[in-house]
Amino acid sequence: MACIYSPNCWFLYTFLPVLGPAQPVVAVAGEDVVLPCYLKPNISAVDLSVEWFRVQTKDPLVHLYRDHEDRNENQIPSYRRRTSLFPEELRNGNTSLKVKNLRGSDNGEYKCLSGKFYDDSSIEVHIKGKNLEFWLEMSLFFFCIILICILIHLYESLSTLMILL
């Protein structure tokens, strides 16, 4: 569960800046994610090559499809057996990539390239750790409770003081 977008984390909105229009894909470690990419104009990608890669890395290949099959010999090792295209979607120009079982190291910017088509916008992926998120929520919760206790105590002390005066 991505806390930022769920209503039971309303209290977090107060502390977080508003995200820009190009929202990153936010996902939790261990889950699956689909990185969106489409050919414009809408033509079939079946006979083209589809390349997914990371921005600003030396050997950046995340997934390669060419001559009608996946060719992932030179893929970044950490992505092995975790990436797939949607074969039935390729003919609609949908070259979105599925990444399974997300890891912290998947954090970063991705781009997709197909035949001569190149979309210069990149997709940013933010992986959030489950444990860190839980810890943050809990500490915020207890911080609020402590604050309320202090305020009640202060109020009571003040009332006593008023009576005495």
Ligand X SMILES: *[C@@H]1O[C@H](CO)[C@@H](O)[C@H](O)[C@H]1NC(C)=O
Tokens matching residue 66? 């060419």
Q: Which of 34, 46, 146, 151 binds ligand X (CB under 6 A)?
A: 34
C-alpha R_g of the chain: 24
Asked if 92 touches ligand X (CB under 6 A), the answer is yes
Instruction: Find all residues with CB under 8 Å of 155, minimum gap 6, and list them.
Output: none
Asked if 56 touches ligand X (CB under 6 A), the answer is no
Instruction: Find all residues with CB under 8 Å of 121, minimum gap 6, and list them.
Output: 22
Segment interacting with ligand X (CB under 6 A) among 70-78, 88-96, 130-138, 156-164 = 88-96
Q: Which residues pair with 61 in a beta bridge?
A: 53
Shorter beta-carbon distance to ligand X: residue 29 or 39:
39
Shorter beta-carbon distance to ligand X: residue 20 or 41:
41
Residue with tokens 């489950």: 130
Position 151, amino acid? L
Q: Which of 72, 84, 96, 122 binds ligand X (CB under 6 A)?
A: 96
Q: How far is the CB of 50 from ligand X (least distance, A)?
A: 13
Segment interacting with ligand X (CB under 6 A) among 24-32, 58-66, 86-94, 142-150 = 86-94
Geometric angle at alpha carbon 64, from 33 and 89, rounded to 5°: 60
Binding site for ligand X (CB under 6 A): 34, 38, 42, 86, 89, 92-94, 96
